[in-house]
Chain A
Amino acid sequence: MVTAPPMTPTYLLGLTALAVLLYDSLRTDDGGAGVLTGISVVGALASLGTAGWFLTADTGLVAGMSEFSGAVVVDGMSLFFTALFAAVTVLVTLGAHDYDPIDGKRGELYGLVLLAATGMSVMASANSLATAFVALELASLPSYALVAFLKQDRGSTEAGLKYFLIGALSSAIFVFGISLVYAATGSLLLPDIAAAFESGLGERTGIAGVGVLMIAGGVAYKTASVPFHFWAPEAYEGAPAPVSAFLSSASKAAGFALAFRVFVVGFPLGAATSAGIDWALLFQILAVATMVLGNFAAATQDKVKRMLAYSSIGHAGYVLIGLAALSAEASTNGDVMGAAMAHLFVYGFMNTGAFLFVALAENWGVGRRFEDYNGLGAEKPFAAVAMTAFLFSLAGVPPLGGFFSKLFLFAGAVDAGLWWLAVIAVINSSLSLYYYSRVVRALWFEEGDHDLSGAPTALYAALAIALVGTVVLLPGFGPVIETAQEAATALFA
């Protein structure tokens, strides 16, 4: 009997990338956009389906299975995140099909997106710091190219360069941290590092501490958390909108996937705290700083895309609660981290959807400012309704998906005893309603005059899928949060 390898969803993403590049180099005419989009969407869907199947069918994978001498592990969490990356990839490739500025270069864009998604998927599976670093680079390098994709556009190239420079600095910090941890514990495999922590670090505590903090820095870069967030507003604003959607949803989630596993498995909180390396406190500080900075800065923006970029930083702050609210041996750990994963999942739909609407607006050429969106609701009601749902969901207005994920996340923080963190999060969340509803007001309540081209089918389809994801997660939230919390609880076992 043939058994599918546990990493099939990851392989499928990588193979799809190769298939796209192969077709792109073999084709002779200038057409073929439909085929390229088709290959990408089908490949990503296959990966999504396999991951979903592995998660729900009785394959025994949810409990965890090590591959390649323990360098990677496939378990519930890695499958959950792979499904998320694949879903975002479907939305982004579908949306990019109608995105005019990349005409003629779709093969490259899809290939890079798929390769980055492969890297992210490996990040979610990384069980060794070496794998983690390689996967992070595999995810990051295509991202730099993607941000700078519009070669003729000064904003895009400038953003790409800035992203690359900050990325290089952050990668250096990350890999330096890895080397220090290796020096202190003598291993790159997370379980071995954990064992070294448990048996006491002695004189090497300081080295390990600096290493842990620097690894946290690398993770903070990937998740666009303070103080490693500086690249995000400009990269998101300068990049083509589908790429912004991809980076702010999938790439951020990948950073968290890595963080969850490395910190929970590699640096067990009980041993780390008793050695004076209280990384939960570190993440509490980062969570507060990130959500406050993201939301407050978003409130004063005047371009929609840049507002979304800052709001994306704010959301990273919320998700950091998933790490900040952990404590040694607490029974609430699985619940709060699962809630953070579920929030990332919902975020994958609503945030991608919001950026895709921006892509649509760029296609229509209506401009980037809030007031440029005036009156779009009357002219393109479906897209405007979808955008309204995304924004309200991002703000956490019931009964949309974002409300439930935030509810579980904040409730998890309260259960873990961090009520003050939940209070700050709720205050920030209500502030976010202010700037999200500015867009809604522009869409529906202001008069505007536009000369809009038609409704691009694939982009509309992507919006519709994201809308369904945002709204259907209302009744379907039960399974999502249960899967996420089950997968998260397995990490603590």
Chain B
Amino acid sequence: MAGAFDYALAIAVLPFLSFCLAVGVALSGRDLLPKGGALPGIAATGGSLLLSAWVFLTVSGGETYNETFYTWAAGEAATGSLSEPLTLSFGMLLDPLSAMMLLIVSLVALLVHVFSLGYMNDEGETGLPRYYAGLGLFTASMLGFVLADNLLMAFMFFELVGLCSYLLIGFWFRREGPPSAAKKAFLVTRFGDYFFLIGVVAVFATFGTAKFAGEHSFPRIAEHALAGEATVNTFLGLEPAAWFTVIGLLVLGGVIGKSAQFPLHTWLPDAMEGPTPVSALIHAATMVAAGVYLVARMYGFYALSPTALAIIALVGAFTALFAASMGLVKDEIKQVLAYSTISQYGYIMLGLGAGGYVAGTFHLLTHAFFKALLFLGAGSVIIAMHHNEDMWEMGGLKERMPVTYYTFLAGSLALAGIVPFAGFWSKDEVLYEALVHGLGTTSGLGTALLVAYGMGLLAVLFTGFYTFRMVMLTFHGEPRSETAREAAEGGWNVKLPLIVLGILATTVGLVNMTPVADLTGMHDIELLNMWLSGAPESVSVEQYHHLLEEFGGIHAADVPSYLAGGLSLALALVGAGSAYVLYGGADPEPHTEKLGSLRGVLYNNYYQDEYQVWLAENVVLPLSKVADVFDQAVVDGVVNGVSSVSLFGGSRLKRVQDGLVTHYAAMLTLGLTVLLVGFAVYGGWF
């Protein structure tokens, strides 16, 4: 009987078909599709969601799938000290992690398609087939990325995802901002992907395979190699452990770019130039998630390298704090959300780097829902405000848009980490993992984790503040503009996705209530932990735990989880409360002005863009000019020289053929004679 796994490929293929349909119609130039292509997109993502749910149920029954279905290149002989020749293939890996991610992506994609009906169609946007084609291709690429069973296939879809992001951010290409933001997003992520590509090549060169799971997967071979049970190729004269760290960091380059981590985060705030549903889908729930998902996907590899873990944790924690501080002073609602996204992905990285595989994945899950909710809520506000995003022009929207307000509030409580909303449970677990592993690990990694914990904890305070500053300015007080006074809520296609996500943002955290479990001793309520433990051995939680202890040297100290949870909750409440006090009045003051020059630094994002532009103009450009001079003078010089010599030689040779047959006969005979004499002497014939 055909099971869910036989149809799993259709999860990615369905949105691709919707893309093809939309492109076909867009090329025909006629308005053939109802709703500009939204309905095929909704049908396709709906189908993907159903299939994902089926796969999810099948996986929860204990079945997993890890097969290669197409090998498109295979080496003939093994290289170096490898035992098997290299193969490049496509395949699917369906385990608890990917099944969960499939569900998240297809659900958010479906809701975003529905929301787009309200945001794009009802607003009378043009170019809708192009928009829905982009959404369809994006969804297909992201789902393909999640399904991938090896690093190379993942890389290909990773790049496709980046392309779609470019296309969608630049959707309004006739305006000034979007094309430039799209280019920036493309170039900055490409910078990271460059390292990723080298990493992929390094993985192939080192292990001969890039499969994620199974006995012949590269994390497994790496583990055996460190235990001295397998041989791999290493380069640069490094020991296997050091070389694995190098590979891990190369791949991490792609992660940092895609997941908008410091210092490659600068593209994400600009990417808010795209349509808001796109921001919700791409820059909150999925594409940015691709980076951290990759870390989780190959966690068995990162767990082997304490150095890589420490870097992941530190980068994550620093990004969390750094982005949160910038979010404090922003005036536009989507900018606040953009910095909160960067900050939250920092938390996920911190969780993964701190050895909290479940914690990081958990925060990935909850964040996908509450951040999609917040973006769609912001979209709803932006519709009502006629595309004015400045929070100082809003105010008092609470009464006029109740559905948006309450769902947005649920999302904000989740973001700020207030019990019992989703973000509390997951963020708390991330911080808890960082704390116990920081205390329990004796090496430098322990210190690094404690530093990271401190930064993460401070960021909680900031998060609570900027979140409620945003809520207060947008929804509370008196309306501060004419549009805000006349704001009205959108139709069902706006409200329905908000309600669905609102419920999820409120409740999804309940799947892994570790503090409650510790307090009551009922560990069977940690559903996510159990779910991820059901994976095949090579990618299971137990395996990662074992690797972290044996190779990462990570051990947990005994700290009650409710104490750590209480601390972070208190900080979040302080942050949120002070925002309420400062901005809760009928006509709030712009208090951040009092920060003086510090506000300028924060508002200008620590001049990150400026220094990157400076690097491009004063370092890269001169180098490129030198390379250009080299190319023009030396490379082209050699090429031109060769061609002039060839042509000169050719014209000489041409003159030999002078048209006189007597000359030909003479030269022929002469040539034969030379050969005869030469060979007679050489061969000693006479």
Q: Bound complex: CA of A102 vs CA of B652, how far in Å?
A: 36
Interface size for A (C-beta < 8 A) is 37
Q: Taking CB as reference atom, which chain A residue is nearest B675?
A: A213
CB distance from B72 to the nearest CB of A (A): 15
Q: Are A282 and B671 in contact (CB under 8 A)?
A: no
Contact pick for B661, options A166, A206, A209, A217, CB 8 Å:
A166
Residue of B nearest to A299 (CB): B650
Give the distance in Å from the alpha carbon of A351 to the alpha carbon of B576 in the complex. Answer: 80
Among the listed stretches B50-58, B302-310, B453-461, B662-670, which one makes contact with chain A, having 4 or more residues with CB under 8 Å of it? Answer: B662-670
Distance of A169 Cα from B676 Cα, bound (Å): 16
Contact with A along B628-650 (1 / 0, CB 8 A): 00000000000000010011011
Q: Which residues of B contact A278 (CB under 8 A)?
A: 679, 682-683
Contact mask A207-232 → B, CB, 8 Å, 1/0? 00110011001000000001110110
Within 8 Å of chain A (Cβ to Cβ): is B654?
yes
Residue of B nearest to A165 (CB): B661
Q: Let me know if B650 and A276 touch, CB within 8 A.
A: no
Interface: A441 (CB within 8 A)? no
Given A166-B661, A230-B668, A299-B683 contact (CB < 8 Å) = no
Q: Mark A160-173, 1 if CB is under 8 A from B, else 0.
A: 01100110011001
Is the beta-carbon distance between A210 and B683 smaller than 8 angstroms? Answer: no
Please tell me if the beta carbons of A434 and B685 are within 8 angstroms of each other in the complex: no
Contact A206 B650 (CB under 8 A): no
Q: Residue B657 at the A interface, CB < 8 A?
A: yes
> What chain B residues lie within 8 Å of A296 (beta carbons)?
646, 649-650, 653
Asked if B500 lies at the interface with its beta carbon under 8 angstroms from chain A, I say no
B654: contacting residue among A209, A282, A301, CB under 8 A: A301
Check A165 against B647 for contact (C-beta < 8 Å). no
- A175 located at the interface, meaning its Cβ lies under 8 Å from any Cβ of chain B in the complex: no
Please pick, from A209, A210, A214, A227, the residue contacting B667 in the complex, using a CB distance under 8 A. A227
Complex interface residues of chain A between 180 and 217 (CB less than 8 A to chain B): 205-206, 209-210, 213-214, 217
CB of B659 within 8 A of chain A? Answer: yes
| Interface assignment of A293: CB less than 8 Å from any CB of chain B | yes
Is A431 located at the chain interface by the 8 A CB criterion? yes
Report the separation of the CA atoms of residues A10 and B672 in the bound assembly, to the nearest whole angstrom: 33
CB of A300 closer than 8 Å to a CB of B: yes
Closest B residue, CB atoms, query A428: B646
Q: How far is the CB of A170 from chain B (nearest CB, A)?
A: 8
Separation of A460 and B675 alpha carbons in the complex (Å): 45
Cβ-defined contact, B672 with A214, below 8 A: yes
Residues of A within 8 A of B69 (CB): none
Q: How far is the CB of B572 from chain A (nearest CB, A)?
A: 61
Alpha-carbon separation in the docked complex, A213 to B678 (Å): 11
Check B618 for interface membership: any CB of A closer than 8 A: no
- Answer whether residue B684 sits at the interface, using C-beta atoms and an 8 A cutoff: yes
Measured between alpha carbons, how far is A170 from B646 in the docked complex, in Å? 30
Quick one: which of A162, A276, A282, A301 contacts B684, CB cutoff 8 A? A276
Residue of chain B at shortest CB distance from A217: B672
In the bound complex, how far is the Cα of B666 from the Cα of A230, in angstroms? Answer: 11
Which residues of chain A (223-281) have a CB below 8 Å from chain B?
Answer: 226-228, 230-231, 233-234, 275-278, 281
* Residue in A230, A275, A285 whose CB lies within 8 Å of B664: A230
Whether B646 pairs with A299 at a CB distance below 8 angstroms is yes
- A169 to chain B: closest residue by CB: B665
A109, chain B: closest CB distance, angstroms: 25
Which residue of B is nearest A201, CB measured? B685
Q: Is the CB of A227 within 8 A of B668?
A: yes
Closest Cβ of chain B to A470, distance in Å, is 25
Most buried by A among B651, B657, B659, B682: B657
Q: Which residues of A contact B650 (CB under 8 A)?
A: 296-300
Q: Does residue B611 face the partner (Cβ distance < 8 Å to A)? A: no
Which of chain A's residues have a CB closer than 8 A to the CB of B563? none
Q: Which residues of A contact B70 (CB under 8 A)?
A: none
Which residues from chain A contact B659 at a C-beta distance below 8 Å?
A: 234
Is there an interface contact between B653 and A166, defined as CB atoms closer than 8 Å?
A: no
Chain A residues with CB under 8 A of B664: 162, 166, 230-231
Residues of chain B lying within 8 A (CB to CB) of residue A161: 661
User: A209 touching B668 by the CB < 8 A rule?
Assistant: no
Q: Contacts A217-B672, A227-B667, A282-B675 given; indicate if A277 touches B653 (C-beta within 8 A).
A: no
**Chain A interface SS verdict (over half):** helix
**Contact for B685 among A209, A230, A431, CB less than 8 A:** A209
A299 touches B667 (CB 8 A): no
Known: A169-B668, A206-B685, A230-B668. A299 touches B647 (CB 8 A): yes
Q: In the complex the two chains form, what is the Cα distance from A480 to B452 in whole Å?
A: 65
In the bound complex, do residue A434 and residue B672 qualify as a contact, i.e. CB atoms below 8 Å apart?
no
Chain A residue at minimum C-beta to C-beta distance from B678: A285
A229 to B650 CA separation, bound complex (whole angstroms): 16
Q: Which residues on the A side are within 8 Å of B654 (C-beta)?
A: 297, 300-301
Chain B residues within 8 Å of A206, by CB? 680, 685-686
A358 to B439, CA, bound (A): 83
| Pairwise interchain contact B671-A165, C-beta atoms closer than 8 A | no
A213-B647 contact, Cβ under 8 Å, with A162-B664, A297-B654, A297-B657: no
Task: Across the interface, name the chain B residue whose C-beta is closest to A289.
Answer: B671
* Chain B minimum-CB-distance residue to A205: B685
Q: Please give the distance in Å from B671's CB to the nearest CB on chain A.
A: 3
User: Which of B667, B676, B686 lies in contact with A213, CB distance below 8 A?
Assistant: B676
A162-B664, A234-B659 are contacts. A209–B683 as well, Cβ < 8 Å? yes
- In the docked arrangement, what's the CA distance between A418 and B504, Å? 70
Q: How far is the CA of A37 from the CA of B609 in the complex (A)?
A: 75
CB closest chain-B residue, reference A277: B683
Are A230 and B657 within 8 A (Cβ)? Answer: yes
CA distance A228 to B664 in the complex (A): 9
Scoring A205, A227, A233, A275 by chain B CB atoms within 10 A of each residue's CB, the highest score goes to: A227
Picked from A226, A275, A277, A431, the residue with its CB within 8 Å of the CB of B671 is A226
Selected contact of A210 from candidates B649, B657, B685, CB within 8 Å: B685
Interfacial chain A residues near B676, Cβ < 8 Å: 210, 213
CB distance from B651 to the nearest CB of A (A): 5
Interface of chain B residues 482 through 508 with chain A (CB within 8 A)? none
List of A residues within 8 angstroms of B649 by Cβ: 296
Closest to A164 in B: B661
A231, A282, A297, A434: the one within 8 Å of B653 (CB): A297
* Chain B window 605-626, contacts with chain A (Cβ cutoff 8 Å), 1 for yes, 0 for no: 0000000000000000000000
Q: Which single residue of chain B is at the shortest CB-CB distance from A221?
A: B668
Give A446 to B675 CA distance when docked, in angstroms.
46
A166 touches B647 (CB 8 A): no
B657 nearest CB neighbor, chain A only: A233
Q: Take A209-B683, A217-B672, A227-B671 as given contacts and tell me if A434 and B657 are in contact as well, using a CB distance cutoff of 8 Å.
A: no
A180 to B5, CA, bound (A): 77
The one of A209, A228, A434 that contacts B679, using a Cβ cutoff of 8 Å? A209
B667 touches A165 (CB 8 A): no
Which B residue's beta carbon lies closest to that of A170?
Answer: B668
Interface string of A279-306 (1 = CB under 8 A from B): 0011001000000010011111100000
CA distance A157 to B122 in the complex (A): 80
Smallest beta-carbon distance A53→chain B, Å: 34
| A contact residues around B680 at 8 Å (CB) | 206, 209-210
CB-nearest residue of chain A relative to B645?
Answer: A296
CB distance from A38 to the nearest CB of B (A): 39
Taking CB atoms, residues of chain B closer than 8 Å to A276 are 682-685
A361-389 near B? 1/0 per residue, CB < 8 Å: 00000000000000000000000000000
Q: How far is the CA of A187 from the CA of B9 in the complex (A)?
A: 72
Interface residue ranges, A against B (CB under 8 Å): 161-162, 165-166, 169-170, 173, 205-206, 209-210, 213-214, 217, 226-228, 230-231, 233-234, 275-278, 281-282, 285, 293, 296-301, 431, 434
- Seed contacts A166-B668, A209-B680, A228-B668; 8 additional CB < 8 Å A-B pairs: A166-B661, A166-B665, A206-B680, A206-B686, A209-B683, A277-B685, A281-B682, A297-B657
A-B contact pairs, 11 of them (CB 8 A): A166-B661, A169-B665, A169-B668, A173-B672, A227-B667, A227-B670, A234-B659, A276-B685, A277-B679, A278-B682, A296-B650
9 cross-chain pairs, A with B, having the tightest CB-CB distances, nearest first:
A276-B683, A227-B671, A206-B685, A230-B664, A300-B650, A296-B650, A299-B650, A297-B653, A209-B685
